[in-house]
Amino acid sequence: MKNIYIIGVGLIGGSLALDIKKNKPEVVIHGISRKETTLDEALSLKLIDKKATLDDINKADLVIISIPVDATVKLLPTVLDKISDSGLVVDAGSTKKDICKIVEAHPKRRNFLAMHPIAGTEHSGPSAAISGLFEGKTNIVCEVEKTAFKLQEKALKLFVDIGMRIRYMNPEAHDKHIAYMSHLSHISSFMLGKTVIEKEKNERDIFDMAGSGFASTVRLAKSSPEMWTPIFEQNKENVIETLKEYINNLNQFKDLMEKDDFEAVYNEMKNTNHIKQILNGIA
């Protein structure tokens, strides 16, 4: 895979470009974007080697689509139309069901690999790209059996070589699990930020009194609405289900406090401390 084209050279696309280039200096990275300024920035940051357009995709060994998931659903069939028989298209979207469904009957379905590299920050754009972002991270791959074996083998080696673990999952299971593990935390962060902004009218008070706990909890509220609104829309059913369970837990916690049952409050928090062992075990 010598010629790699990245559609969307932001946090994920740009970070993939950095890691791939670091591991394989001989690779030529081509950037594609709707905005010329984005490509200019990506060039100046040395995320890409050359600018390209969709018409150049027939020359690609690998195309990485890293744009909002609603745009991916619209663009993916066109990209597959243009890819050569020996080329592969992958996406990096945080939802998988709609993306897989849109190409299920495409004549070049074998040239597509659905994946979700679980890594990122709250920042966006080419300047947000980070070298080493994917080291030790998980890459969820869906419907791998529908991708030509030789093509999937090359792509998976590329991602393993930059430090990623590969896990296989069907699109429905992916979207259900990721609603709990990622989408809910973003909504929680956005709504915490909203609550504080609405109640603390003095921005100086927010700045002066915000501790590290608040900062870490609300960090995701700085994420791009342009990226996250389509994710919530595509995963609506699963996200609503997680919100119902989360709101129920919040209401139960509130009820315990209203009843002055602080022994139960303690036990709730103590039992939840088990999350430390789970996360430490994974690390």
Quickly tell me which residue has 């869906």 as its tokens.
Answer: 142
- Residue 32 pairs with which residues in a beta bridge? 7
pLDDT, one tens digit for every residue, the chain (283 residues): 899 999 999 999 999 999 999 999 999 999 999 999 999 999 999 999 999 999 999 999 999 999 999 999 999 999 999 999 999 999 999 999 999 999 999 999 999 999 999 998 889 999 999 999 999 999 999 999 999 999 999 999 999 999 999 999 999 999 999 999 999 999 999 999 898 888 777 667 666 666 677 788 888 999 999 999 999 999 999 999 999 999 999 999 999 999 999 999 999 999 999 877 777 765 4
Q: Which long-range contacts (CB under 8 A, 24 or more apart) does 101-107 make?
A: 101/171, 102/73, 102/76, 102/77, 103/76, 103/77, 106/77, 106/80
Is 59 in contact with 6 (CB distance < 8 Å)?
A: no
String of DSSP letters for 195-263: HHHHH---HHHHHHH--HHHHHHHGGGGS-HHHHHHHHHHTHHHHHHHHHHHHHHHHHHHHHHHTT-HH
Short-list 206, 187, 204, CA closest to 196:
206
Dist CA 218 CA 233 (whole Å): 22
Dist CA 216 CA 193 (whole Å): 11
Other Cβ atoms closer than 10 A to 241: 14
Quickly tell me which residue has 């919040």 as its tokens.
Answer: 250
